[in-house]
């Protein structure tokens, strides 16, 4: 956590440090407002100091080691990663090079996401997903409910159970790999491809690593479907996450409607929050 605290100016560190034992998922800094954290899916302010532009510039310089140009590809996509796996979302003024986004400047807010491992969180649902053999599974929840945390734990349990997994870790959030070492334990039978687009990485992993299960985070658009179809056509099972607030929202998004029609994913796991406690529910997925 020292790296996390050192991202922030000294006058903000004490308030942030006091919250760390509660395992916050996010720390948000918006100009003109105090620091807020997300704990158990609920936001709360933790400081009386209003964030300034200088605070955000300090955070950005510490996160990039005053070498922003080495992070330009990430910044073009609205975020950057630190060496210990913290993803920092950036919001400000977008600027273009020709027709393409070149980056973001004049930051007005940042969101530092803090990944966690929760060993044991998947114990209750694991038997339902692996009866006879693992069945392709899609994890659903609203943002901030812990989809990636559950995904990470299922990868770890499947790997230690002897399944051969490949992970297309597009944004580096699942394994948090730095200097060739994964910050999180994904098990002894897991191979991780970091940084590439999901579809392209999935194809490379299928060709090179021969996985029994292919895992990735956040199916977001129809472009991901081709990789999913090809993986399923190779006999590979799938484990992934997707945003959905409730079951009725599925058919309102074309990508999830198409996914259900393919029949590739057999199981869905829904994450619900009650009194800051996450509950997991398994059901059949398909039309």
Average pLDDT, the chain: 90
More confident position, 247 or 280: 280
Asked if residues 50 and 85 have their Cβ atoms less than 8 Å apart, the reply is: no
Please give the Cα distance from 102 to 71 (Å, whole number): 12
260: pLDDT strictly greater than 80 = yes
Per-residue confidence (pLDDT) for residue 16, from 0 to 100: 95
284: pLDDT strictly greater than 80 = yes
pLDDT digits 0-9 by tens, 171-211: 888 988 776 878 899 999 999 998 888 888 999 999 999 99
Confirm whether 121 is domain-assigned.
Answer: no
Whole-prediction pTM value?
0.84
Confirm whether 237 is domain-assigned.
Answer: yes
Q: Domain check: are 137 and 33 in the same one?
A: no
Confirm whether 120 is domain-assigned.
Answer: no
The enclosing domain of 23 has a CATH number of: 3.30.450.90
Asked if residues 154 and 124 have their Cβ atoms less than 8 Å apart, the reply is: no
Domain count, the chain: 2
Per-residue confidence (pLDDT) for residue 225, from 0 to 100: 84
Q: Domain check: are 85 and 173 in the same one?
A: no
Q: Domain check: are 25 and 58 in the same one?
A: yes
Of the candidates 284, 287, 269, the residue with the CA atom closest to the CA atom of residue 124: 269
pLDDT digits 0-9 by tens, 116-143: 889 999 999 999 999 989 999 999 998 8
Per-residue confidence (pLDDT) for residue 119, from 0 to 100: 93
Asked if residues 60 and 68 have their Cβ atoms less than 8 Å apart, the reply is: yes
What radius of gyration, in Å, describes the C-alpha atoms of the chain?
Answer: 19
Which alpha helices (H) appear in 48-178, and where do they start and end?
A: 53-64, 72-76, 126-129, 147-160
Please give the Cα distance from 151 to 51 (Å, whole number): 34
Per-residue confidence (pLDDT) for residue 108, from 0 to 100: 98
Per-residue confidence (pLDDT) for residue 198, from 0 to 100: 86
pLDDT digits 0-9 by tens, 8-67: 999 999 999 999 988 898 999 999 999 999 987 789 999 999 999 999 999 999 998 878
Share of the chain above pLDDT 70, in %: 98
257: pLDDT strictly greater than 90 = no
Per-residue confidence (pLDDT) for residue 287, from 0 to 100: 60
The enclosing domain of 138 has a CATH number of: 3.40.50.300
Confirm whether 118 is domain-assigned.
Answer: no
Q: Is 242 helix (H, G, I), strand (E, B) or coil?
A: strand
- The 3-state DSSP composition of the chain as helix, strand, coil percent (nearest 5) reads 35, 30, 35
Q: Domain check: are 37 and 139 in the same one?
A: no
Q: Token digits for 72? A: 């330009």
Per-residue confidence (pLDDT) for residue 48, from 0 to 100: 92
Per-residue confidence (pLDDT) for residue 213, from 0 to 100: 97
Enclosing domain of residue 222: 126-284
Q: How far is CA 178 from each of CA 21, 49, 196, 234, rounded to the nearest angstrom?
A: 24, 33, 15, 31
């Amino acid at each position: 956590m020292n790296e996390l605290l050192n991202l922030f100016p000294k006058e903000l560190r004490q308030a942030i440090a006091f919250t760390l034992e509660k395992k916050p998922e996010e720390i948000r800094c918006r100009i003109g407002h105090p620091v807020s954290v997300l704990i158990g899916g609920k936001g709360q302010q933790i400081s009386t100091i209003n964030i300034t532009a200088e605070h955000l510039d300090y955070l950005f310089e510490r996160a990039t080691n005053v070498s922003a140009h080495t992070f330009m590809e990430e910044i073009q996509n609205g975020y950057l990663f630190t060496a210990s796996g913290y993803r920092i979302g950036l919001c400000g003024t977008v600027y273009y090079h020709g027709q393409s986004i070149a980056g973001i400047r004049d930051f007005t807010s940042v969101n530092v996401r803090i990944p966690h491992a929760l060993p044991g969180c998947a114990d209750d649902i694991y038997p339902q997903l692996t009866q006879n053999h693992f069945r392709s599974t899609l994890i659903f929840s609203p943002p901030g409910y812990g989809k990636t945390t559950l995904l990470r734990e299922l990868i770890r349990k499947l790997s230690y159970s002897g399944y051969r997994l490949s992970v297309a870790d597009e944004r580096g959030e699942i394994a948090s790999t730095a200097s060739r070492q994964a910050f999180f334990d994904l098990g002894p039978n897991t191979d991780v491809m970091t940084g590439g687009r999901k579809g392209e990485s999935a194809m490379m992993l299928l060709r090179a690593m021969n996985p029994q299960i292919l895992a990735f985070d956040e199916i977001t658009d129809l472009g991901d479907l081709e990789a999913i179809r090809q993986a399923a056509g190779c006999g590979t099972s799938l484990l992934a996450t997707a945003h959905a607030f409730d079951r009725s929202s599925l058919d309102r998004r074309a990508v999830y409607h198409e996914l259900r029609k393919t029949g590739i994913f057999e199981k869905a796991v829904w994450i619900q929050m009650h009194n800051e406690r996450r509950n997991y529910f398994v059901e059949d997925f398909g039309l």
